Structure 1
Amino acid sequence: MKIISHPLYLAPVPLYTKLYSGTALVIDAQSPFVKQTFRSRAVIATESGTQSLNIPVVHDGGRTAMRDVRISEHGNWRHQHWNALVSAYRKSPFFEYYADDFAHFYEERDGFLLDFNLRLHNVICELLGLEREATVITEGNIDTADACDLRHIAEPKALKALTEQPQPYYQVFARRNGFIPNLSVLDLLFNMGPEGLITLRESCL
């Protein structure tokens, strides 16, 4: 079964849960970019609850295709995002082990949001041992036959409405906040390391 998704920034765990049970990923890069979605936002756990990390983009307000959206370099968002990740996960079991795999993303400059998101996705899949063939569709129709279409979970409200119960896993601040589901997959990776793949498998059962 193939999984269809928008290219998301450090996508929520449920996407990777579905990808575990799938055989391939189809990425819709032709649909219009929508602000305040997981295309340019990730949610992580912090000591006080959750925090959203938002990538600023150059957006004309029209129906700009995701493939054409450029990252804005105004402000200091890369530094802010990396500092937030360090602050949230430096005490997690696997942050130090994986930090170098991600730090350089917040030092380099990527012109397009699509490229940035895909590069992060590829590293995440490699570290989780979740390698699936990915096809990026930049124009034309997407065949949804025999597919699991997850494009709706780019919307935060749709993600909250998911009825599937995720498999709880260790989180640094669980004693204070309880288990928080549907965070960025980095939460799973930094807390569980290679065993994150087991969590994905158990969430499929």
Structure 2
Amino acid sequence: MNNVQEESLRDQKKNRRRLQILEIARSIIATKGLRSLKVRDVAEAAGCSVGSVYNEFGDFDGVILTVNRETVQALTERLGGVPAEDPVRQLYGLAETYLEFFAENANLLRSLFEHRMEDDRPYPDDILQMVMDAFALMHPPLVRVLPDADDVKIALLSRTLFSAVHGIISLGLEERMIAVPPQMLRQQVTQFLDAHLLGLGILPAR
């Protein structure tokens, strides 16, 4: 075996270990929540040392951030699949799709919004931009239903709508409080959008 082949095998092994660590971390977060994620547990499940985990990702934040990147990317792809022919129906579709994604991936989404960096380091700009890009999917339909509004108003409105829908869903699915059945939660989100759109002079979808 020559040096090139040996290097290729090492790279393949490194990639497999990296993917295994990510899958283990993602599974723990998804089933037990971010607070249950411990680097020693991940290393033990992956059959490697804690040092190997750090070598792959720089630190434990690196593991969590990589999982969070994958989560927001999956969310954005799901939201991007909402039909855009009717802008009002698109707004409702984005909210319903977010509810469905949240219900399926509650702990992963909570990790995205609740993770705090060690030593109070700033959250990476690329993930913040990815989240903003997800928010921005509400921008085009709002422009279509509010053609006279300026970009600043549309940007603020899209953030407000996204944040409000997120809050309704997050609290509704929170197990430590009185959980709301999915169908009732869907109705609450729809009622919120009805009221908010009417306040903007936009007829709700029917």
Could you tell me the TM-score, scaled by structure 1's length? 0.24
More helix per residue: 2
More strand per residue: 1
Instruction: Answer with 1 or 2: which has the greater Rg.
Output: 2
Could you tell me the TM-score, scaled by structure 2's length? 0.24
